[in-house]
Structure 1
């Protein structure tokens, strides 16, 4: 079975919406890393001249390849990701090997593909 790793970087207040949309689109689970910080194209300066970095979530979703497009599109829409600054980023990576997925694979084989 082929898998993709979807990585979604969004403001923490959008995490639940992204997770719900991903599950409805066919994801069987996710790992969430909270309180991530990063820098964008332009720094957000506070009135003290310090850079403000809002807390973000990094959502990692390992998904069967034929469901990847639907899950990534649903996550991006739910997260409000677009081409403007500061909305977040979503990306897809190929997975060469994955272990520890026996129960997930059984569940995927028992459910119809949503592609």
Structure 2
């Protein structure tokens, strides 16, 4: 069974929407990293010329390959990622090897590709 890793960098106030959207189209779980910070295309300067880097959440979704496109499209829409420069990004990476998924794979084989 092949897997993809979907990484979603999104404002924390949209994280729940992203998680729900992913689950609705077949994601079986996710890991969330809170309070990630980074720089975007443009710097946001505040008092005394200091740069403001707002907190983001990083949502990591390991998805079976046949479900990954639907999940990526769904989280993009739920997170409103294409609305402006500041809303976040999502990306998909190929996963060459996994460990610890034997029981997950058995369950995935029992369920249909599209829930």
How would you bin the TM-score normalised by the shorter chain?
A: over 0.9
Other-structure match for 2:112: 112
In structure 2, distance between residues paired with 1:103 and 1:90: 27
1:59 aligns with 2:59: yes
In structure 1, distance between residues paired with 2:48 and 2:73: 38
What is the CA deviation profile of residues 2-52 of structure 1, one whole-angstrom value per residue up to 9, with x for unaligned ones? Answer: 000000000111111100000111000011110000001101112442111
Runs of at least 5 residues in structure 2 that lack an aligned partner in the other structure: none
Using structure 1 for the length normalisation, give the TM-score.
0.95
Query: Post-superposition shift, 1:89?
Result: 0.5
Correspondence 1:1-115 to 2 at 5 A: 1-82=1-82, 84-114=84-114
In structure 1, distance between residues paired with 2:103 and 2:9: 27
Query: Post-superposition shift, 1:83?
Result: 5.8
Runs of at least 5 residues in structure 1 that lack an aligned partner in the other structure: none
In structure 1, distance between residues paired with 2:104 and 2:37: 30
- Which stretches of structure 1, 4 residues or longer, exceed 6 Å deviation after superposition? none
Q: SS in structure 2 opposite 1:98?
A: coil
